Amino acid sequence: MIRRPSRIALAATAAALIVGGASLPAAPVSAAPASALVSSSATGPTSTDIVVHSAAMNRDIPLTVLLPKDRSRPAGVLYLLNGAGGGEDSATWQGKTDVVNFFAQKNAYVVIPMKGAFSYYTDWLKPDEKLGVNKWSTFLGEELPAVIDSTYSTNGRNAIAGISSSATSVLNLAIAHKGLYRTVAAYSGCAATSTQPGQTYVRLVVETRGGGDARNMWGPYNGPLWRQNDPVVNAAGLRGVSLYLSAATGLPGKYDTPQYVPDSATLTDQIVVGGAIEAATRQCTEDLAAKLGRLRIPATVDRVPAGSHSWKYWQDQLHKSWPQIARGIGA
């Protein structure tokens, strides 16, 4: 499925230039590598690990690509973001859900970045001492789609989905890259970033958990970039996108039991801490839904009556939102 020019074609092109007397311009010594596919290796019948070089960040980004069941015809692409850890820890879609098996029977490409911890998948103003250079909006919205579309047989229709902190990211990416995504699914996120609660949640991720400085991301607290990256403030930019939002109440639900979480300490943490976080994201989701309603922008909102901020519920939401995503990308 991967398209690369053959050595014969490259040699023929070079020979033609030499015979014709053309000269090749010398590449600047300091030129940074362009965004491109670096490597690809199959990891299963329907999964491949790839590495894509980001020119904006000047580093290689590992990703997992789940392949469509029917590869004889073009398919749409779902970009699926991990949470705060960015896939750099054990909390990943592949490790915590049935995503590989679920999509093995679907006709879509699923692209999962395995980097981006605590970055909010946005373009940072400046490099961070702890978290480095982050230009994720440029990578996800410009560089990566071009590489995916030139590497695989895609149909030009894209969707994006994310959980927790990346549920904020997917909304901002859709606003920043108008027309790129037909469908956006945000599970258990807090879209507000310019309110005091919203900024607190962002700082908990970037600073408390990640050790970075959120001012390197969006400038001074309460500054204009915090409003510019607030999907509630800028909800009008979501018009025309098929939207799916979900959050539970934070009350213990069916997966907050010893049957699913045998370790008592882990279960307590999931109920107490995960419950509080989910309750906060529920309020955030209601705020965004209300703003969309005032703007007469339609959205599917799944208000789950019970459940914590945890993976089993997000697996359910991916399954529930799939028909809407599939319609958008022609799967």
- The answer to whether 137 touches 180, Cβ cutoff 8 Å, is no
* Separation of alpha carbons 314 and 316, rounded Å: 5
- Asked whether the beta carbons of 160 and 76 are under 8 A apart, the reply is no
* pLDDT tens digits, one per residue of 43-60: 999 999 999 999 999 999
Going by pLDDT thresholds of 50, 70 and 90, the confidence category of residue 198 is very high
Do the Cβ atoms of 324 and 244 come closer than 8 Å?
yes
What pLDDT does 32 receive?
58
Q: How confident is the model over 172-193, as pLDDT tens digits?
A: 999 999 999 999 999 999 999 9
Band (pLDDT 50/70/90 cuts) for residue 39 is very high
Sheet holding 300-304, edge to edge: 36-44, 47-54, 59-66, 108-113, 75-81, 154-163, 183-187, 242-248, 300-304
Cα atoms in the 13 Å half-sphere on the side-chain side of 20: 9
Burial 59-84 (b: 16+ CB within 10 A, else e): eebbbbbbbbeeeeebbbbbbbbbbb
% the chain with pLDDT above 70: 90
- Side chain identity at residue 319, one-letter code: H
- Global pTM reads 0.89
CA-to-CA separations, 209 to 66, 117, 201, 203, 275, in angstroms, rounded: 29, 10, 11, 9, 18
Average pLDDT over all residues of the chain = 91
pLDDT band with cut points at 50, 70 and 90 for residue 34: confident
Q: Are 107 and 75 in contact (CB under 8 A)?
A: yes
Residue 21 predicted with pLDDT over 70: no
What's the mean pLDDT in 224-233?
A: 97
The answer, yes or no, to whether residue 311 has pLDDT greater than 70, is yes
Render pLDDT for 137-167 as a digit per residue (tens, 0 to 9).
999 999 999 999 999 999 999 999 999 999 9
pLDDT above 80 (res 14): no
Once rounded to an integer, what is the mean pLDDT over residues 264-285?
95
Which residues face 152 on adjacent strands?
none
Structural domains of the chain sorted by starting position, each given as residue range(s) with its CATH number in brackets: 35-249+282-329 (3.40.50.1820)
- Read off the pLDDT of each residue in 197-213 and give the average, rounded to a whole number: 96
